[in-house]
């Protein structure tokens, strides 16, 4: 064993996928640390459980709640997601069931769509946060050596 330090090899691990990191609700900065304590939002249907986040990312120390009231803006994201999802279910309904003015099929779509949105709500609320924070915190491949994003 020589006591001369070997030159440090710089190994860059592959960048976790952007879309996947949003859907799997991982930290926007390192894409490795989970944003929620329990990965399953449906385990307990209370807001306390659905929004149970660690204060900081366990991997890169990024603070999630960047300032008091930071998450209010997720309302817009959540609205956009609901509208987008409704368009998607409408398109699928049109394709597989059909839309007609002579019967109630369009009302059945309304009911099915409402139930779908309601059932997915815990996941959609988390997804909104996961998307929203990405407007403020970008992926940083050198997260180990740089400071987390902060609001002044």
Q: Considering the complex, state which of residue 28 and residue 122 has its C-beta at the smaller distance from Zn ion.
A: 28
Task: Candidates 21, 25, 33, 122: give the one binding Zn ion (CB under 5 A).
Answer: 33
- Sole residue written with tokens 């407007």: 135
Minimum gap (Å) between residue 28 Cβ and Zn ion: 8
d(CA 35, CA 53): 6
Nearer to Zn ion (CB atom), residue 26 or residue 125? 26
Task: Name the segment binding Zn ion (CB under 5 A); options: 9-17, 62-70, 72-80, 99-107.
Answer: 62-70
CB of 51 to Zn ion, least distance (A): 18
Nearer to Zn ion, 62 or 74 (CB): 62
Q: Which residues of 9-31 are buried (b: 16+ CB within 10 A; e: fewer)?
A: eeeeeeeeeeeebbeebbbbbbb
Number of C-alpha atoms within 13 angstroms, CB side, residue 1? Answer: 1
- Closer to Zn ion by Cβ: residue 19 or 95: 19
> By rule CB under 5 A, what string of x and - marks binding of each residue 3-32 to Zn ion?
------------------------x-xx--
With the CA atoms of 80, 83, 85 and 91 taken in that order, what torsion angle do they form, in degrees rounded to the nearest 10? -140
CA–CA distance, 136 with 146 (Å, rounded to integer): 16
Per CB under 5 A, the segment of 36-44, 60-68, 94-102, 120-128 that binds Zn ion is 60-68
Asked if 137 touches Zn ion (CB under 5 A), the answer is no
Is there a contact between 10 and 86 (Cβ–Cβ < 8 Å)?
no
**List of residues contacting Zn ion (CB under 5 A):** 27, 29-30, 33, 57, 59-60, 62
């Amino acid at each position: 064993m020589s006591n001369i330090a070997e030159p440090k090899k710089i190994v860059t691990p592959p960048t976790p996928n952007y879309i996947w990191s949003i859907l799997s609700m991982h930290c926007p900065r390192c894409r490795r640390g989970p944003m929620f304590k329990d990965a399953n939002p449906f385990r307990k249907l209370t807001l306390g459980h659905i929004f149970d986040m660690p204060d900081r990312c366990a991997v890169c120390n990024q603070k999630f709640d960047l300032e008091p009231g930071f998450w209010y803006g997720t309302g817009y994201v959540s609205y956009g997601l609901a509208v987008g999802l409704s368009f998607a279910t409408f398109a699928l309904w049109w394709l597989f069931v059909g839309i007609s003015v002579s019967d109630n099929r369009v009302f059945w779509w309304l009911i099915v769509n409402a139930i779908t949105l309601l059932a997915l709500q815990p996941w959609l609320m988390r997804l909104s946060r996961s998307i929203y924070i990405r407007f403020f915190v970008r992926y940083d491949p050198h997260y180990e050596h740089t400071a987390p994003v902060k609001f002044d």
